[in-house]
Structure 1
Amino acid sequence: MRATMILVTGLAVLVANLVMAAGPYRFENIDGGEHDLSDWAGRPVLVVNTASRCGFTPQYEGLQGLYDRYRDRGLVVLAVPSNDFRQELATEAEVKDFCELTFGLDLPMTTITHVRGDAAHAFYADLKQSSGWEPNWNFNKVLIGADGQVKATWGATARPLSGTITDAIEAELPTN
């Protein structure tokens, strides 16, 4: 148990020291154009790999809730649809319609993107190379702090509006 705790703590420190600002990390925008993480420099960004046909898909509601609660203070929630776990719809148009109609999403969203393996997007490939961490299922979350460093990662079972996630986000936001 103690060895596991030390290993997990060591990984958390390694992940926390990973600087993602080195990019450039550009994602294709589901609406056309691109999302460039450097455009959000100085702001916390929660990057979440998502899927429309997953048991965790209802977390979209919580992700939108986070965005609604904190966007005026600078938080960006970036949804990254992925079919790496074979639970995403076939086209970006289907994903966009599903998310807007079912969950009323207006948070930034990418096109369908690989998040693991040889075809992983550079953001995820660099995260894995630097820390060993990669999404092991849909709705894994990565919080990049306002300083461009990875502050925390969470698996699929961590609910977006949980205290663990909101506390970490609030620590990165300017005080009002």
Structure 2
Amino acid sequence: MSSLSDFSATSIDGKPIDLSSYDGKVVLVVNTASQCGFTPQYQGLQELYDTYGEQGFEVLGFPCDQFGNQEPGAEDEIAAFCERKFNVTFPMFSKIEVNGDNAHPLYQWLKDQQSGLLGREGIKWNFTKFLIGRDGSVIDRFAPTTKPSKISKDIEKALA
């Protein structure tokens, strides 16, 4: 598989989504958690979505409970939390694993395309971000500590 459009995922409300529906868009894929020190980044992610959405930008949130049990809730609880606390309107997906034998195929591909710090392939923590271009290929990977606002210039360049 060589682009985002080669994958599918399940939406947070249980519907299968073919990620080819994002063809031609710039996409930021993020593994999320509701009880993490980085959880306030939901606000920044929503601001990016609000700012660039009409220009063909999407944020795709993938809840993950692999780091410190920081996403213990069920999908309906996660969705309600995101909407209530951060007014999230960007697409959220069902809880997945991002590392190990049961890692979602999308994340296996993302890690293969952009290894992390010092070549580290695995996802280090919640809110690791992958920027994907209009052609479906990975442009860059951003650490959990990278605030969404710091990605604006990269998004603008990809949208141009």
TM-score, structure 2 as length reference? 0.90
Please say if residues 124 and 134 of structure 1, whose CA atoms lie closer than 8 Å, have aligned partners that are also in contact.
Answer: no
Match of 1:9 in 2: none
Post-superposition offset of 1:125: 1.2
Matched, 1:166 2:152: yes
Match of 1:99 in 2: 82
Question: Which of 46, 53, 60 in structure 2 is aligned with 1:71?
Answer: 53
Matched, 1:111 2:94: yes
Please say if residues 30 and 92 of structure 1, whose CA atoms lie closer than 8 Å, have aligned partners that are also in contact.
Answer: yes
What SS does structure 2 have at the residue aligned with 1:109?
coil
What SS does structure 1 have at the residue aligned with 2:81?
helix
- For the aligned residues, what is the CA RMSD? 1.6
Match of 2:43 in 1: 61
CA distance in 1, matches of 2:31, 2:148: 13
Post-superposition offset of 1:128: 2.8
The unaligned stretches of length 5 or more in structure 1 are: 1-17
Pick the structure with greater CA Rg.
1
Matched, 1:155 2:143: yes
What amino acid maps onto 2:156 in structure 1?
A: E
Match of 1:7 in 2: none
Query: Aligned residue pairs: how many?
Result: 154
Match of 2:118 in 1: none
Match of 1:137 in 2: 125
The unaligned stretches of length 5 or more in structure 2 are: 116-120
